[in-house]
Structure 1
Amino acid sequence: MTAHAAAPKALSPSPVQFRTVTVQGLDIFYREAGPKDAPVLLLLHGFPSSSHMFRDLIPLLAGQFRVIAPDYPGFGNSAAPGIGTFPYTFAALADVVDAFTDAVCASSYVIYMQDYGGPIGFRLALKHPERVRGFIIQNAVANVEGWNPEVVKALAPFWQGRNAQTEQPVRALLTAETTRFQYTHGASRKERLSPDAWIHDQAGLDRPGNAALQVEMLWNYQDNVAQYPKWQDYLKTRQPPLLIAWGDNDPYFTLKGAELFKTLVPSAELHHYDAGHFALETHVEDIAAVSLAFLARLPKAR
């Protein structure tokens, strides 16, 4: 009889539930899976997506964790009030997510953040450092050097003087062509790219009035850049448990963004993937596996 090595244990899928809760007078949609009494993993999505970007990851992480992924106001299936009703700033979105965690009884959590999720997650951490057990960072930055210089060059005139002309490169980010580009550029395993991802995102961008909200958010992004020193100081001072899962071919955020986190938190664990901005589309099992291993090593939640 030939002896065979034991096969690796399969990641057990967990059913995802779809819910809506009222937060600050707004209907906030979220996806949730896993035991109610398990440690919380808070998933914060990027632009121009929503909790939809975590659709494949959530079931893989929810066996021993309560995984929660909200849509921000103006994104996905959450309410999208007009600019005159809601201030589309990253500080305002962070306040909504903060109130959302209270509404769903998540008083302690690990934050998984990608793209826009970074500015929101870091604001939560500065406001409630005692609540944050650690971070999983996927292509989100906290330094100007982490940006593609061409993107900074395109945004700089808009931030320095907002008008119809300087808005043009920003509004180009809202087109179907650019949304598809965000998913396909630099992605290996092309056969794993689902058109559902960019079609879903574009449907949100194309809703009446949504372009104005998105332009407002991109205008406010300069405030995130101003906050970078505070976020860097937080990481350097507190040395939180940190896992970095990086799509190396991201057209917006470069490896210098990932390397900064490793410099500030030397104990951080860094994994590289031959992937683009939305690495979960092609490497979800790989990222789920290192995430579960990282989560298992954290001190028990209080």
Structure 2
Amino acid sequence: MAVSTKALDVRYRTVDVDGVEVFYREAGDPSRPALVLLHGFPSSSHMYRRLLAELSDEFWLIAPDYVGFGRSATPPVDGFTYSFEKLTQVTLGLLDRIGVPRFALYVQDYGAPIGLRIAAAHPERVTALVTQSGNAYQEGFTPFWDLLFRHAADRAPHESAVRELLTLASTRWQYEHGVPADRLDRIAPEAWLLDQAGLDRPGNQEIQLQLFWDYQFNLEQYPRFQEYFRTHRPPTLVAWGANDEIFGPAGAEAFARDLPDAEIHLLDAGHFALETHGTEIAALVRDFLRRNVAG
């Protein structure tokens, strides 16, 4: 059986960023236009494994694991500031450390508040945006968030219920909900099993609970993100699961308010649309980047 030469182009590296070890996957030629891939909860750079292989012939791709996720360091909550502001600082530090001056951003879930902080603070460095269930508007929140916002307002009474979101059943649900029956067999079981293995590491649930609590402060950044959209008009591709019960399709459509030229595609998919619609998304991203960032 032939082995794809694209798949062989992915490299796996770890560097020190401000005293913490940060793991990242890299593919493609650094002389090509760069695309930085920022993962969601409870995943890691592993969620981009197919996209890295698919696009590495034409673009330089960098996909980090945040501190507390994947193969990056996981210091305990009393040894590291687990906030989205801090994860943004480390992510930007990684890009500076490995020399990525300008780049397009692909954001999903947690990747949005991290990537959009970078874009709003350094608009000159960001060539384009791709968002897959990467929310920036109040309209995107679904009833899934009700418990998390109650937990943010008063942690102790709701912690037990929130811990249920860190179980195997919940992790698998994130991958399978909203997926058409004829596409369920495209979801690689190792994806949600790997995510769960990360959650089950000693001390990791405390890390995730802290980030759940900190998420409330991302909403305070939304006016800043939206002002960035209006002022800088970055080319934007929205490839979103129409059946996502975590960040609903209204969150995708809301981008048109501040980015009237945004290319919005609602796919018959759930939250982890790359698992079931990877071929379609890769084609959309390739075409979009060719038109907007390729030299």
Which amino acid is 1:39 matched to? P
Alignment-derived partner of residue 242 in structure 2: 248
Deviations 1:124-182 (A, max 9, x none): 0122111000100000111222111x22321222121121x211232111000000000
Quickly say closer, same or farther: Cα 1:96–1:197, change in 2 above 3 A.
Answer: same
Q: Per-residue deviation at 1:298?
A: 1.2
Which amino acid is 2:98 matched to? V
TM score, norm. by length of structure 2: 0.95
Alignment of structure 1 residues 98-247 onto 2, 5 Å: 98-148=92-142, 150-163=143-156, 165-188=157-180, 189-247=183-241
**Partner of residue 48 from structure 1, selected from 42, 50, 59:** 42
Runs of 4+ deviating beyond 6 Å: none
Quick one: distance in 2 between partners of 1:58 and 1:299? 17
Are 2:38 and 2:115, in contact at CA under 8 Å, matched by a contact in 1?
Answer: yes
Quick one: distance in 2 between partners of 1:12 and 1:18? 14
Quick one: distance in 1 between partners of 2:294 and 2:279? 24
Partner secondary structure for residue 123 of structure 2: coil
Deviations 1:198-250 (A, max 9, x none): 00000000000000000000000000011111111111221110000011111
Quick one: distance in 2 between partners of 1:12 and 1:216? 38
Are 1:14 and 1:62, in contact at CA under 8 Å, matched by a contact in 2?
Answer: no
Quickly say closer, same or farther: Cα 1:12–1:23, change in 2 above 3 A.
Answer: closer
**Partner of residue 35 from structure 1, selected from 26, 29, 35:** 29
Are 1:112 and 1:137, in contact at CA under 8 Å, matched by a contact in 2?
Answer: yes
Number of residue-to-residue matches in the alignment: 290
Quick one: distance in 2 between partners of 1:14 and 1:242? 29
Quick one: distance in 2 between partners of 1:111 and 1:51? 14
Quickly say closer, same or farther: Cα 1:299–1:71, change in 2 above 3 A.
Answer: closer
Are 1:241 and 1:268, in contact at CA under 8 Å, matched by a contact in 2?
Answer: yes
Quick one: distance in 1 between partners of 2:274 and 2:150? 32
| Residue ranges of structure 1 left out of the alignment (5+ in a row) | 1-9
| Residue ranges of structure 2 left out of the alignment (5+ in a row) | none
Q: Per-residue deviation at 1:13?
A: 5.2
Quickly say closer, same or farther: Cα 1:291–1:204, change in 2 above 3 A.
Answer: same
Instruction: Decide which structure has the larger Cα Rg and report it.
Output: 1
TM score, norm. by length of structure 1: 0.93
Deviations 1:75-113 (A, max 9, x none): 000000111111000000000000000111001000000
Quick one: distance in 2 between partners of 1:156 and 1:93? 21
Let me know the Cα RMSD of the aligned residues: 1.5
Q: Per-residue deviation at 1:300?
A: 4.8
Quick one: distance in 1 between partners of 2:213 and 2:105? 25
